[in-house]
Amino acid sequence: MKRYTLMLLFLAVACLFNAAPTLAATPLKVLIVDGQNNHNWAGTTPVIKQILEDSGKFTVDVATSPKKKQPMDSFQPAFSKYDVVFSNYNGDNWPQSTQTALETYMKNGGGLVIFHAADNAFSNWDEWNKMIGLGGWGGRNEKSGPMIRYRDGKVIRDTSPGAGGTHGPQHPFQIVRRNSTHPIMQGLPAKWMHVSDELYSKLRGPAENLTLLATAYADPAKRGTGENEPMLFTMAYGQGRVFHNALGHGPDQLKCVCCIALLQRGTEWAATGKVTLPVPEDFPTADQISIRESLSANYKAIESYDFGTSREALANIEAEIRSMPKNMVPKIEAQLIKALTDSDSSAAAKQFCCRMLRRVGSAQSVPALAKLLPDPELSHMARFALQLMPAPEAGAALRQAVTELDGDLRTGVIGTLGLRGERKAVAILKPLASANDRQTAQAAIKALGRLGGTQSAKALHAATVLRALRTERDDALLMCADSLAANDKTKQAMKIYQSLSQPAYSTWIRIAAYQGLVKADPEQAGTIILGLLRDKNLHMQRAAGKFIAQIPGEAMTESLAKQLPTLDPEAQVLLLSALETRQDKTASPFVQKAASSDNAEVQMAALKALGTLGSSEHVAFLAAASMKNDAQGKTAQDSLKRITGPGVTEALIQQSQSDSPASLRGSVIDVLIARREMNAGSALCQVAKDSNVQVRRAAYRGLGALASAQEVPAMVSLLLSAKSASDRSALERALVSVVSRDETADAAPILKGLSQADNAVKTNLLAVLPVIGSDEALAAVRSVLKTQDVDLRKNAIRVLSKWPNGKPLDSLLGVARNESDSVQQILALRGYIQLLNVPTNSRTAETVECLTQALAVAKRTDEKQLILAALPKYPCDAALALAKRLQQDPALKREADMAITKIKQLMLNLNKSVTASRSSNNAKRAIDGKIGTRWSTDRAMKPGDWFVVDLGMEATVGGLTLDTKNSANDYPRGYEVYVSFDGGNWGDPILKGKGTNPITKIRFPKPVNTRFIKITQTGSSDSWNWSIHEMSVDQD
């Protein structure tokens, strides 16, 4: 959002009232909360503070949150100390404790004011949404609550679906009072005009206990909804009061008298339930906006400012100047001139005035600024102010100063004349360009160049320049020529360019001159460029390459490209690169000829250029060139991947189907893959029938990458007719790739193929079915379990084990229970255990029951170990019982002990919650089972940092382990461990220790029965955070 300023209102309090209000014995205490917002909170908060304090009714404090994405743990405003909280905040979520504190404050009778974008905040905080009634953006939709409409004199709750929150462009609009008896609205007109602002629409929320005060019509011509949208309303929350004001985008909107009055009256009501502040006499009317303009900043403070003192007053002045309307500028300028000319003002104060006068100065400022030009300490700041000032008087003052000053001061003024573009200074600068004083002459030459034009060029030509400054003079002449060309004085410009392009001048001057000639005379540009390409100076050749890209037109492209054979190899390479940059395909015939050059570098550049300039006509040429096993071949292939235009894809497909060598056809297919030519599938099905194995394999790769469900039947036919196992495997991989990629693929072509295939092919077709995963596919695989072919049944078992869901579990368990063949029985059991890992939306205990059934048919230790390895994934009492049962088997005791420990830990973690002194929102990362995540203090560890774990229930604990291997230096340098049953009374530490490595194992002197465990950091580090990647609690 635009940054505005702190202004208006501050000195104009008296006009707000008909008579001074009777002040309360004790002012109401207001807390403005800000720090983050998608609006200019830094600009609006000071204005709001001044508006409220100017009423005489309030004292105002501000609580500013940490910056975005910074830790929020320390943000704990003391809401209960205030009569009303004013939210100018829309940003990161507050800590839970802060949210709870505001909820409690409001339920106990607190006041809350919602200002504009504050209703965008906290879309997922239910109680906040109840407080504010309606909100926008942040993912709000119909689930957030209804929209409030005012139709036919009634408040309507509109439950239509759609996103919450929108607005069109800022524009003035009329506000209509809908409640005349509410204390905030008493005495306000029935309608009034509001300044250009965002008209919030489609706000959504619970809207419970909402009292509508005023609406505004959202005009469809301004991208509005065509509804009367709520602008002002109140909410009841517990015993508290909420005033919701959707107006006030930024400081400019807070100039509107309606905003001023409503913020004051609404804040008083939110704090007390009453309004004693009167409606100001200049409140807007039904057809007239009312704005307060005044100089609010303290300009008198400039005179007492010096380096090292507070800049607060100056910052306010600067902010006011940035947004003050034009009609206020003379007042500001007068204040600045007064401070600038005050004898008591310091040099620092005067420098500030000069900076501000650069923005707002006029002819009125010139005399005061001109007096500073001879001052060594302030001359540069005076010139800074005068440089861009449009007043002719500023130029006159600078010209006069040149005749009166010398040394560095005169040099500075000369430079300012050039930067200002003061062409009346040419006569003064002309003799100075010939001065024997190098500093003065150099400044004059540069200034004349910046001034440009005919007179400056003549002055430079006439000057007798020091030898050391000749290049400076040449550069200045180029600047003059550029200015002449820009002003359509082409002949004069070309005369200068031509003179400076001669060999007597330096390379860089000549290049700049030629660039000017090329731009000034496009008809001769080709001749000039060719001449430069033939120049023996490599820098001139390279410059020509850059010029080529700047001259448009097919005729220019063709005329240059025709000259390729006439140039030496280095120039050809430069020209080819430049033609490629032009992207004009007119050059392609000539570039193709260059691609057959005997010179390798020319050939490489031409092949590369064809990737941009070529068309379908060049596909065969590039395909043949790509067969070279060298850099040229790779470049040709890269160009094939990049080449564009009608018919290119068809030309590539034609090459893949041609009688060209197999290596070429295979290479072209790889190009089709790289280009993602998804319409090549049908053609590749034909290529896949080729007798050459190299071509077939390339076609299979292409089908896997490019084919769609439409080609699956043809691919199945190819598989049915494939003669070798390697071909079948390649087609299987291609089919799997296609059905994985194309969601429209179904099992029908595969099932049809199964009915026609021999057993070898059936194996390949079966492998495709798990990717489809349909019920028809599953039935087909199950039917294979009944076949007599043992190898085919084994393959069917393997296929069922890879199924995307748990539907084949019964089939696999049936084979494991009933199959007499040990290999099939083991395959089925292992597949069953493997398939249990697939998400099935089953309860943990149900999955453990399935593992128990697997155990019943497991005959070997290996499978029982697999069951034990799976159990910790389903932590529950049943899993623990099964692991303990297996613990009795000596062959399984080691694995069972590990499983039991892990299950216990995971069960404990299910009930655990954690908090920390810092970054508490991320504390859960220390117990999420993911070593790659961590909780951290997010700054160097310090004594007093703490981390608390709530076990969720009382348990006997023997110790804990803090694992921070992934942040090896973040272990605690010292610690104390406390335990508690209530999380509040900790007593003395049960042990103290020091961390020495990334794994901190803490063993209690004896097991402790507790619920809460607290680790407090007692060590420190200048460089390293305290982090915990994973914390485990040893529970007995």
Report the CATH number that the domain containing residue 185 is assigned in CATH.
Answer: 3.40.50.880
Q: What is the pLDDT of residue 807?
A: 93
pLDDT tens string 869-924: 999 888 888 989 999 999 999 999 999 999 998 888 777 777 788 999 999 999 99
Q: How far apart are CA 713 and CA 756, in angstroms?
A: 13
Q: How far apart are CA 984 and CA 987, in angstroms?
A: 9
Q: What is the pLDDT of residue 779?
A: 96
Tokens 């039917």, residue?
Answer: 783
Q: Check whether 957 has a pLDDT greater than 50.
A: yes
Q: What is the pLDDT of residue 316?
A: 86
Q: Check whether 843 has a pLDDT greater than 90.
A: no
Give me the mean pLDDT over the 771-790 stretch: 94
Q: Are residues 70 and 213 in the same domain?
A: yes
Dihedral, 965, 967, 970, 975 alpha carbons, nearest 10:
-30
Residue 688 Cα to chain centre, angstroms: 46
**Helices in 595-630 by DSSP H: which ranges?**
600-613, 619-625
Q: Check whether 955 has a pLDDT greater than 70.
A: yes
| Whether 707 contacts 679, CB under 8 Å | no
| Whether 7 contacts 260, CB under 8 Å | no
Select from 636, 646, 692, 634 the least CA-distant residue to 665.
692
Confidence of residue 1021 (pLDDT cuts 50, 70, 90): very high
Q: Are residues 846 and 923 in the same domain?
A: no
Q: Are residues 223 and 144 in the same domain?
A: yes
Confidence of residue 1 (pLDDT cuts 50, 70, 90): very low
Give me the mean pLDDT over the 1007-1022 stretch: 94
Q: What is the largest CA-CA distance in the chain?
A: 115
Q: What is the pLDDT of residue 650?
A: 96
pLDDT tens string 151-199: 999 999 999 999 999 999 999 999 999 999 999 999 999 999 999 999 9
β-pairing verdict for 111-115 and 84-87:
parallel
Q: How far apart are CA 534 and CA 498, in angstroms?
A: 18
645, 662, 680 - which closes a domain? 645
Q: Check whether 138 has a pLDDT greater than 90.
A: yes
- Which residues are CB-contacts of 418 (< 8 A; sequence separation ≥ 6)? 443, 446, 447, 448, 449, 450, 451
* pLDDT > 90 fraction of the chain, expressed in percent and rounded: 80
Tokens 């600067």, residue?
Answer: 318
Structure token pair of residue 414: 């000369």
Q: Check whether 428 has a pLDDT greater than 90.
A: yes
Q: How far apart are CA 34 and CA 364, in angstroms?
A: 41
Confidence of residue 117 (pLDDT cuts 50, 70, 90): very high
Domain membership of residue 43 as a residue range: 28-272
Q: What is the pLDDT of residue 295?
A: 57
- Asked whether residue 392 is assigned to any structural domain, the reply reads yes
Give me the mean pLDDT over the 675-698 stretch: 95
Q: How far apart are CA 235 and CA 803, in angstroms?
A: 55
Confidence of residue 453 (pLDDT cuts 50, 70, 90): very high
Confidence of residue 144 (pLDDT cuts 50, 70, 90): very high
- Asked whether residue 614 is assigned to any structural domain, the reply reads yes
Q: Are residues 156 and 32 in the same domain?
A: yes
pLDDT tens string 352-362: 999 999 999 99
Q: How far apart are CA 818 and CA 810, in angstroms?
A: 12
Q: What is the pLDDT of residue 294?
A: 62
| Whether 477 contacts 496, CB under 8 Å | yes
Q: What is the pLDDT of residue 841?
A: 61
pLDDT tens string 720-736: 999 999 999 999 999 99
User: What letter does residue 183 receive in the DSSP assignment?
Assistant: T
Q: What is the mean pLDDT of the chain?
A: 92
Q: Are residues 305 and 248 in the same domain?
A: no
pLDDT tens string 628-646: 888 999 999 999 999 999 9
Q: How far apart are CA 965 and CA 962, in angstroms?
A: 9
Distances (CA, A) of 260 to 12, 13, 82, 222, 997: 11, 10, 21, 25, 61
592, 619, 645 - which closes a domain? 645
| Whether 86 contacts 50, CB under 8 Å | no
Q: Check whether 833 has a pLDDT greater than 80.
A: yes
How big is the CA angle at 133 (ends 129 and 135), to the nearest 5 degrees? Answer: 70
Q: How far apart are CA 558 and CA 567, in angstroms?
A: 15
Q: What is the pLDDT of residue 88?
A: 98
Q: What is the pLDDT of residue 293?
A: 66
Q: Check whether 17 has a pLDDT greater than 50.
A: no
Residues forming beta bridges with residue 175, ordered by sequence position: 192, 216
CATH of residue 1012: 2.60.120.260
Q: Are residues 1019 and 927 in the same domain?
A: yes
Q: How far apart are CA 943 and CA 909, in angstroms?
A: 27
Q: Are residues 207 and 265 in the same domain?
A: yes
How big is the CA angle at 904 (ends 901 and 906), to the nearest 5 degrees? Answer: 105
Q: How far apart are CA 513 and CA 476, in angstroms?
A: 12
Q: What is the pLDDT of residue 296?
A: 66
Distances (CA, A) of 101 to 106, 451, 634: 9, 66, 68
Q: Check whether 13 has a pLDDT greater than 50.
A: no
- Taking each continuous run of H as one helix and of E as one strand, the counts in the chain are 41, 19
- Asked whether residue 785 is assigned to any structural domain, the reply reads no
Q: How far apart are CA 519 and CA 550, in angstroms?
A: 8
Q: Are residues 921 and 893 in the same domain?
A: no
Q: Are residues 652 and 637 in the same domain?
A: no
pTM of the model: 0.56
Distances (CA, A) of 419 to 387, 432, 506, 668: 7, 17, 26, 60
Give me the mean pLDDT over the 831-841 stretch: 83
Q: What is the pLDDT of residue 281?
A: 86
**Helices in 388-437 by DSSP H: which ranges?**
392-404, 407-420, 426-432
Q: How far apart are CA 756 and CA 749, in angstroms?
A: 11
Select from 378, 376, 422, 381 the least CA-distant residue to 398.
422
pLDDT tens string 661-675: 999 999 999 999 999
Distances (CA, A) of 565 to 532, 555, 558, 598: 16, 18, 13, 11
- Asked whether residue 828 is assigned to any structural domain, the reply reads no
Angle between helices 438-451 and 470-486 (to 10 degrees): 10
- Asked whether residue 794 is assigned to any structural domain, the reply reads no
| Whether 699 contacts 669, CB under 8 Å | yes
Q: Are residues 237 and 337 in the same domain?
A: no
Dihedral, 442, 448, 451, 453 alpha carbons, nearest 10:
-150
Q: Are residues 861 and 953 in the same domain?
A: no
Give me the mean pLDDT over the 422-440 stretch: 95
- Asked whether residue 435 is assigned to any structural domain, the reply reads no
- Asked whether residue 1015 is assigned to any structural domain, the reply reads yes
Q: What is the pLDDT of residue 20?
A: 35
Q: Are residues 79 and 127 in the same domain?
A: yes
Give me the mean pLDDT over the 128-133 stretch: 98
| Whether 652 contacts 643, CB under 8 Å | no
β-pairing verdict for 147-151 and 1030-1035:
unpaired
Residue 76 Cα to chain centre, angstroms: 29
Q: Which residue has the higher pLDDT, 717 or 294?
A: 717
712, 742, 772 - which closes a domain? 742
- DSSP percent split of the chain into helix, strand, coil, nearest 5: 55, 15, 35
- Asked whether residue 812 is assigned to any structural domain, the reply reads no
HEC profile for 280-328?
Answer: CCCCCCCCCCCECCCCCCCHHHHHHCCCCCCCHHHHHHHHHHHHCCHHH
* pLDDT > 70 fraction of the chain, expressed in percent and rounded: 97
What's the number of domains the chain is made of?
Answer: 6
Helix (H) or strand (E) segment spanning residue 151:
strand 147-151
Q: What is the pLDDT of residue 24?
A: 42
